[in-house]
Amino acid sequence: MPTPEARVRELRQRIRAADHAYYVLDQPLLADAEYDRLMRELAALEAGHPAFRSPDSPTQRVGGTPGDQFQKVAHREPMLSLGNVTSDEELDEFDTRVRKLLGASPETSIGYVVEPKLDGLAVELVYEQGLFTHGATRGDGTTGEDVTANLRTIGRLGANRGVLPRLKGKAPPRLEVRGEVLLQKAHFEAMNHRLVADGDEPFANPRNAAAGSLRQLDWRVTATRPLSFIAYEALGPDHPALAWKTHWEKLEALSDWGFEVSAENRRCAGMAAVKAERDRLASGRFDFPYDTDGIVVKVDDLDLRRRLGAASRTPRWAVAFKYPPQEEATRVTRIWASVGRTGRLTPVAEVEPVRLGGAMVARATLHNEDELRRKDIRIGDWVLIRRAGEVIPEVVKALPERRTGAETEFRFPAACPVCGAHVVREEGEKAWRCTGAACGAQLAGQLRHFTQRRAMDVDGLGDKLAAELVAQGLVKDFADLWGVPFATWQALFSRPRKEAVEAGAKRTPAELPEKAAQNMLEALARAKTPTLRRLLFALGIPQVGEATAGQLARAFPDLQALLDAGEEALQGVRDVGPEVARQVREWTREPRNRAVVARLLAAGVTPAAEQVDARGPFAGKTVVLTGSLSGLSRDDAKAEIERRGGKVSGSVSRKTDLVVAGEEAGAKLKKATELGVKVVDEAGFLALLKDGR
């Protein structure tokens, strides 16, 4: 049994490590309930032994220190953390403490505002003269990370109103808006499905996904994530526009300025009303579009708040009530390795089905070997399992006290469970990978990526058909697609009606299977002449997305020149850094990959060089597309603009040269009109394309 002093040191060390992992690395080490338990124990020890108190204790600080990769920003007023309570008794103690500090009688009813406790990343946005100038994460409460460029992208994908570039209506000279950056459940689910389909690790929960997305060094990565922003606080120097008397008036002002605030916020007269509201929110929490793990209770009267003040790390006028964690005990029946498109092996735990958050959970990802060993999860173990978002359940920890001795450790296979090829884990890597160039699990996913609309655009070749082509040995690499005869396609489409219609790209049953087979051959014939950009993206080269593929295609219009380029030449390409150049070079010098390219060329695939017209109406121009175009897809429109030397941007600014407004154009068209940016409709856009040929 450690002494109180030794236990204090141990708790501080564990909590600091957990804070760093959670706030800086976005990789939590502890479940919320366990973290709260440790913090409570530490606070109780410090209260019982005042000599052990220290200003650098986790009980006296907020979160973790800002990461080194971002510029530091000092908050004008500290962004404090909230104390946690978990019972009616503790809520009553908070209410009693508030009235005592205010010198109010026990009969005095305090007005509160109850808000859902959002599970995301706290940020501060600064507006000057109504314009968004900069923003930062909470960091350690006094100093945060400057993530302004990333914050500007939030809301562009339509997740919600996001971070407003300009406030609506009359604005004060300076306004500081605080709120939560988060991922709504549906967007988190879609993101994780894409990651899993690509063979990448899914995010453990929406909070981690939101934090990791916001803290990207490249704002363009953040722009691809459907993040939301919900405001809950406003601050500013004295100004008539900020003459609020209550917190509720602040929330109304935030909404009037255009921010999204939670529709579940309520005013409550007294603690009895707070508890009733707590119960209402708890009963409907799983129907909310975002995750919430409790409520926040705030004194409504701002003058009372000023009188109450704050302790070192928490305000005395607010508290967070945490719901009991949605955890259940169940038993691991099997652990197996799933193989993704990139060859990554991910350990998956199958468990005896258990209901959590309104859904039956039967499996959970264990992410990688390090996570599996750290938690010491064994086959046959009883474990605590928790809903960590709507897609990926999380095994919180094993329950070793319930072991019988029959449990067994999971060992990663030496050979790929799909193709039998050797499995390796490179130094410094978290994941094991299959080395088989012809691995069926990888090939089916690679084939689907290769044929998707934004790559080779082979209409009608979906997931099921790709898997069947690989399973029957008809396709061993991409070039084999062009060797599948008509009769084989016809046989493949002669399947039960539902599958056949899906694989036949919505053809009617009367057209199947002969018509579907003919359509497939025609789609493959069209796919023989892709642009070089599309082909490079289709090949699945690590780190080469559509944008990078376009830059490489423009820099190396000859495919062979790209295959032979060294790292130095690759780094000379716009937006290609040392790591991307290294991975591209490793891919191009791999003999099996060069053989795949050679077989594609031999099959008649002839990529067209990226022709850039430096003299046309789009040359050197920044163009924004908004609304829907009937004559061509958004991707095709973007490609046509880039081929003519233009650049497509996702937002309208004073630097925008042209906005193309299709049907149902929205806020971007309005902003273009306000800024005086030139706007053309679809007919005008097509005319410009014709003139630029």
For the stretch 25-74, pLDDT in tens is 555 566 666 777 788 888 888 888 877 777 667 776 555 555 556 788 99
Bridge partners of 22, per DSSP, are none
Q: What are phi and psi of 41, to 5 degrees?
A: -65, -45
Kindly indicate the confidence band of residue 508, based on its pLDDT and cuts at 50, 70 and 90.
very low
Considering 281-290, 387-396, 475-484, 622-631, the range whose residues carry the highest mean pLDDT is 475-484
Three-state SS annotation for 619-681: CCCEEEEECECCCCCHHHHHHHHHHCCCEEECCCCCCCCEEEECECCCHHHHHHHHHCCEEEC
**Tokens in use for 690?**
């014709």
Mean pLDDT over the full length of the chain? 84
Burial class (CB in 10 A: 0-12, 13-18, 19+), 655: exposed
Q: What are the residue ranges spanned by the domains of the chain? A: 4-60, 84-322, 327-424, 440-526, 532-602, 622-691
Kindly indicate the confidence band of residue 252, based on its pLDDT and cuts at 50, 70 and 90.
very high
Instruction: Specify the CATH superfamily of domain 622-691.
Output: BRCT domain (3.40.50.10190)
Q: Could you tell me if 462 and 445 are in contact, meaning their C-beta atoms sit under 8 angstroms apart?
A: no
What are the contacts of 347-351 at 24+ separation with CB within 8 A? Answer: 347/372, 347/410, 347/412, 349/377, 349/383, 349/395, 351/383, 351/385, 351/395
DSSP assignment of 504-558: TTS--GGGTTHHHHHHHHHHHHHTTS-BHHHHHHHTT-TT--HHHHHHHHHH--S
The domain defined by 4-60 folds into Helix Hairpins (1.10.287)
* Residue with more model confidence, 77 or 692: 77
List the single range of 72-86, 545-559, 611-625 with lowest mean pLDDT.
Answer: 611-625
Give the model's pLDDT for residue 358. 57
Helical packing angle, 4-19 and 32-48, nearest 10°: 140
> Which element (helix H / strand E) includes 100?
helix 88-102
Mean per-residue pLDDT, 162-175: 91
| Residue 230 reports pLDDT greater than 90 | yes
Give the model's pLDDT for residue 509. 46
- Burial state string for 203-235 with b = 16 or more CB within 10 A and e = fewer than 16: bbbbbbbbbbbbbbeeeeebbebbbbbbbbbbb
How many CB atoms lie under 10 A from the CB of residue 149? Answer: 16
| Residue 511 reports pLDDT greater than 60 | no
Give the model's pLDDT for residue 261. 95
Mean per-residue pLDDT, 438-452: 82
List the single range of 79-93, 380-394, 598-612 with lowest mean pLDDT.
Answer: 380-394
Kindly indicate the confidence band of residue 510, based on its pLDDT and cuts at 50, 70 and 90.
very low
Residues 486 and 467: their CA atoms lie apart, in Å, by 18
Which DSSP letter does residue 315 get?
B
For the stretch 94-135, pLDDT in tens is 999 999 999 988 888 899 999 999 988 999 999 999 999 999
Instruction: Specify the CATH superfamily of domain 84-322.
Output: DNA ligase/mRNA capping enzyme (3.30.470.30)
Kindly indicate the confidence band of residue 387, based on its pLDDT and cuts at 50, 70 and 90.
low
**Tokens in use for 506?**
């919505």
Give the model's pLDDT for residue 651. 77
Burial class (CB in 10 A: 0-12, 13-18, 19+), 11: buried
> Which element (helix H / strand E) includes 435?
none
Same fold, 327-424 and 622-691: no
Kindly indicate the confidence band of residue 485, based on its pLDDT and cuts at 50, 70 and 90.
very high
For the stretch 617-667, pLDDT in tens is 888 888 988 887 777 777 678 777 877 778 887 778 888 999 998 877 777
* Closest among 224, 188, 186, 225 to 203, alpha carbons compared: 188
Give the model's pLDDT for residue 298. 97
Mean per-residue pLDDT, 179-195: 82
Q: What share of the chain is helix, strand, coil (3-state, %, to 5)?
A: 40, 20, 40
DSSP assignment of 563-596: HH--HHHHHTSTT--HHHHHHHHHHHT-HHHHHH
pTM beyond 0.75: the answer is no
Kindly indicate the confidence band of residue 380, based on its pLDDT and cuts at 50, 70 and 90.
very high
Mean per-residue pLDDT, 292-305: 94
The residue written with tokens 């219609």 in the block is 501
Q: What angle do CA 481, 482, 486 make, to 5 degrees?
A: 95
Q: Could you tell me if 444 and 466 are in contact, meaning their C-beta atoms sit under 8 angstroms apart?
A: yes
> Which element (helix H / strand E) includes 19?
helix 4-19
CATH class given for the domain over 532-602 = mainly alpha
678 annotated active-site: no
* Residue with more model confidence, 629 or 400: 400
Which residues 6+ apart lie within 8 Å of 693 measured at CB?
613, 616
The domain defined by 440-526 folds into DNA polymerase; domain 1 (1.10.150)
| Residue 164 reports pLDDT greater than 60 | yes
CATH class given for the domain over 327-424 = mainly beta
What 3-state class would DSSP assign to 383?
strand
Q: Could you tell me if 6 and 43 are in contact, meaning their C-beta atoms sit under 8 angstroms apart?
A: no
Of 100, 117, 250, 678, which residue is the catalytic one? 117
Q: What percent of the chain has pLDDT over 70?
A: 87
* Closest among 391, 383, 338, 375 to 28, alpha carbons compared: 375
Kindly indicate the confidence band of residue 574, based on its pLDDT and cuts at 50, 70 and 90.
confident
Which residues 6+ apart lie within 8 Å of 584 measured at CB?
541, 542, 543, 544, 552, 570, 576
Which DSSP letter does residue 306 get?
H
Give the model's pLDDT for residue 512. 65
| Residue 505 reports pLDDT greater than 70 | no
The alpha-carbon radius of gyration of the chain (Å, integer) is 29
